[in-house]
Chain A
Amino acid sequence: MAVASAKGAPANGSVALQVFRGDPAGGAEERFEVPMQEGMVVLDAIHYIQAHFAPDLACRWNCKAAKCGSCSAEVNGRPRLMCKTRVDEFDGEIHVWPMKAFPLIKDLVTDVSWNYKVNREIPPFRPSPNEAVPYRMAAEDVERIYEFRKCIECFLCQDVCHVLRNHDDKSLYYGPRYMVRIAGLEMHPLDTQRRTGLLHGKAGVGMCNITKCCQEVCPEHIKITDNAIIPLKERTATDSYDPIAWVARKIRGGVPPEPEAAAIPGFVPKAGVQRFAVQDVVRLRARGRPLARVGRVLADGWLEVWVLQMGGVTQRWRGPKTVRATDIVSNYGPLDDVGIGSKIRDQD
């Protein structure tokens, strides 16, 4: 495909591009010749075309430094970031097409909104309600998920995924990008949320047949299949047949057991002390058993709290008040989860 025909061979000092132009009604390649510059990338050529030949040529881009993942396209049939694809790596004409797995909007721009819809369905990070802030986490525990956090959401993996691309059925599988996102959440050392049911069901981790195409095109070199999808498949299988394993893993992940914690110098969790996080909703032992939210976690078992006062239609948080952790009867977890946050006006 990349072989240049005699007609397509670029003149000296210029490069020829065949750029797809069109909209949902139809379209075809259009040929442009662009002067060659040292170190030129495909996106430079597209910009040149916009400025000199076709001002309305549609393409997405932002940073031009392979950090934002906007300029995804198919260059000579391969999903690439245009800002990272050097023109001089090809002989002859360069064919630039939009991503095929998503509905076309115009020219090189596709409608990727489905990805954002899927993203909203994934339960967010949920730390244990008793986790003290600031967090303590061992370097090796967080480094495990660095790889997943590197994702720039270019959706090239989604574009190349057989389930999403060939079967054109996006109801069966969330796609590699969201396996990476879920892996990052599941392996976060302080996360307590359970997502294996989702993985097994709607997210459809079972649909992946491990062809590893996604990890081949990843511009961030994330080992999507090896490090995200396969471990998630294993996890889902284990949890479906052995619920105790999930509990055990989450406890290990959420509250590090003694030996691990002791390995962090200077960090010795006190046994038996209840743990609180900023924004937790708690009930106090005081008269009337008022509700309060945690403002700050102080040293030696002291907390700063804001006490909820309800008077007719107005509700307000009064504080800060310093209390002992032992003055707290129960902890209902983060304000957002408890759900009274949005209904209460913070008037102080």
Chain B
Amino acid sequence: MTETYETHTCDVLVIGAGGAGMRAAIEAAGDGASVILVCKSLLGKAHTVMAEGGIAAALGNVDPQDSWETHFQDTMRGGQLINNWRMAELHARESPDRVYELETWGAIFDRTPDGRIMQRPFGAHTWRRLCHVGDRTGLEMIRTLQDRTVALGVEVLMEVTVTRLLKDGHRIAGAFGYNRVDGQFVAFRSKAVVIATGGWGRIFKVTSNSWEGTGDGVGMGYEAGAEVLDPEMVQFHPTGMLWPPGVRGILVTEAVRGEGGYLKNKDGQRFMLEYDPKKKELSSRDVVARAIHKEVEQGRGSPHGGAYLEVMHLGADTIKKKLPSMYEQFLRLADVDITREPMEVAPTIHYAMGGLWVEPETGATTVPGLFAAGEAAAGLHGANRLGGNSLSDLLVFGRRAGAAAATYQRDVTRGNLHERQIAEEQELLLKPFQSEGKENPYLLQQELQTAMQEGASLARDERGLRACLKKVLELQRRIEMVHVPGSRRYNPGWHTTRDLRFMLTIAEAIVRAALERKESRGAHWRLDYLEKDAKLGRVNYIAYSDSGRMRLKTRPVPEMPHELSRLFGEPEPLPAQKTA
């Protein structure tokens, strides 16, 4: 017996309205498909808005030596060569066009003196490569895509949460969820679905992610039979705010270091000179995060257990012009004037390199009709993502997934929605209202966050991971006992309960894969296996559902063709990292 629900019909359903989702919707709509775009929040609030530093694209406007080949190499090296080479190649080749395209839709970037797009240096990028507008590049990008989406007349359903993919046989037939505002159920009948739901930073306690980063799309894809690649690879951004407690984890953009900021320990030493004398503060994110962790561990941390980040030497005018929102953020939230005092920073969970396994060209998952793009998809970034590569990822692969979904839907008939699947999902959704249990969804979420922060964060070992896994499995049992009071009308406690199920699935995948990868590589740092293992460097871990049980398997990292692998045969290019 099912409760009433409204049904929307379309060719392509895009879940998530961040950069990747909107870019996919724009492409699919431009190709003539009827598109519905759904998002959990209001339009334009997605986490893309938080991206500050810039979009990595080898335009060569500032450093003419730059080329897609160098960008490709930087991306692969950053990812410790477990990336999908084809994705890295497409990304490096296509991102310049995607940036120029944004300009034709009204985006504006900082300019060079001759009127072209300005580019700034960033961690582990060989040349100055990040197209930016001050420190609010993400906002510029999301507003531009939003305007374009609106101009194309794409139907947008705001504040709708999709919780389950519906299948007809082995292929996708649509999706099911609820409207957050009135709590009414919604079904979508669509020929193709694009997952663009972003990452899962909210599984951890200290994160730069917004509440939306709960891994829904990847969780749904997993339940529908898609594979989750590299779940163990979770990126720490080296510089999150640290004090006061309320702001802990909020991002301090890498642009602060890109513009010439120094990291210092409590003795005033620029410790990055020791950890990476060549790239210094602009080393890759995993290296800088570990360096800060080690400094703190060895008793050289700042009062609240982090490091100092200084920009005073740049001068107040430059700071206010190049880093206006950082200036405002610290002044307002931490009473720190960054033109006079250092910032106190510590690593914060920032990005999930892992996600749904996709075909490089199309973003197609292993489930027919299901596509994924952006942070929800995996493969491009390998073991560590370079700053700026996520925004270009969204544009390049958002477009590709949208185009592929639009092409796919032309050749297939519409699948049927099966009442049984809908009834099951409704029962699951309504359970917390009927439950006699005493568990509180918020406190359960906090328990998960604490457990993951302790057991599966920056520095991992067997014992901690085992304890963490035990806790995650315990929480998976206890979530059945969650009770929420109130009605279905805009009830955040109820919303949290469903999100939490996805978080628990993803958490299990993270811990299980982290236990298996007995080596240290990129963002994955095992205290009990400090070295890289060449054998493990040739495989990716994949989590998949085997009739409801999570299984793990390995798959060989795709081998690069000779014309690309030869790029790595030569000695590493040694251009000095220039600062603006």
Report the stretch among B45-53, B541-549, B563-571 that lies at the interface: B45-53
The 8 A CB mask of A121-137 against B (1 = contact, 0 = none) is: 00011010000011111
Report the stretch among B107-115, B305-313, B572-580 that lies at the interface: B107-115
CB distance from B115 to the nearest CB of A (A): 4
- CB under 8 Å from chain B, chain A span 64-121: 64-70, 84, 86, 105-107, 109, 111-113, 116, 119-120
Q: At the interface, yes or no: A341 with Cβ under 8 Å from chain B?
A: yes
The 8 A CB mask of B226-255 against A (1 = contact, 0 = none) is: 000000000000000001111100110000
Contact A112 B246 (CB under 8 A): no
Contact B489 A346 (CB under 8 A): no
Chain B contact residues, CB within 8 Å of chain A: 29-32, 41-47, 49-50, 59, 100-101, 103-106, 108-117, 133-134, 136, 138-140, 143, 147-148, 150-152, 156, 158, 181, 210-212, 243-247, 250-251, 325, 328-329, 332-335, 410, 440-443, 446, 484-487, 489-494, 496
A61 to B156, CA, bound (A): 19
Q: Which residues of A contact B492 (CB under 8 A)?
A: 50, 55-59
Given contacts A68-B49, A185-B106, contact A50 B442 (CB under 8 A): yes
Q: At the interface, yes or no: A216 with Cβ under 8 Å from chain B?
A: no
Q: At the interface, yes or no: A139 with Cβ under 8 Å from chain B?
A: yes
Contact B333 A39 (CB under 8 A): yes
Cβ-closest 5 pairs across A and B: A39-B244, A55-B493, A56-B486, A125-B106, A51-B442
Given contacts A120-B150, A145-B108, contact A134 B334 (CB under 8 A): no
Contact B50 A67 (CB under 8 A): yes
Majority secondary structure of chain A interface residues (helix, strand, loop or mixed): loop
A98 to B59, CA, bound (A): 46
Indicate which residue in B133, B152, B489 contacts A149 across the interface (CB closer than 8 Å): B133
Q: At the interface, yes or no: A63 with Cβ under 8 Å from chain B?
A: yes
Q: Which residues of A contact B47 (CB under 8 A)?
A: 62-63
A40 to B244, CA, bound (A): 8
CB distance from A58 to the nearest CB of B (A): 4
Q: A55-B442, A60-B41 are in contact. List 13 more A-B contacts (CB 8 A).
A: A51-B440, A55-B441, A66-B332, A107-B490, A116-B42, A119-B150, A124-B151, A127-B104, A133-B104, A139-B115, A152-B49, A153-B45, A185-B106
Q: At the interface, yes or no: A345 with Cβ under 8 Å from chain B?
A: yes
The 8 A CB mask of A176-192 against B (1 = contact, 0 = none) is: 00000000010010010
Contact B250 A65 (CB under 8 A): yes
Q: At the interface, yes or no: A41 with Cβ under 8 Å from chain B?
A: yes
CB distance from B116 to the nearest CB of A (A): 6
Q: At the interface, yes or no: A265 with Cβ under 8 Å from chain B?
A: yes
The 25 sampled A-B contact pairs (Cβ below 8 Å) are A38-B244, A39-B247, A44-B246, A51-B442, A51-B446, A63-B210, A64-B210, A65-B50, A66-B328, A68-B41, A86-B332, A86-B333, A106-B490, A109-B490, A111-B181, A133-B104, A136-B116, A137-B111, A139-B113, A142-B110, A149-B133, A149-B140, A152-B49, A153-B42, A191-B106
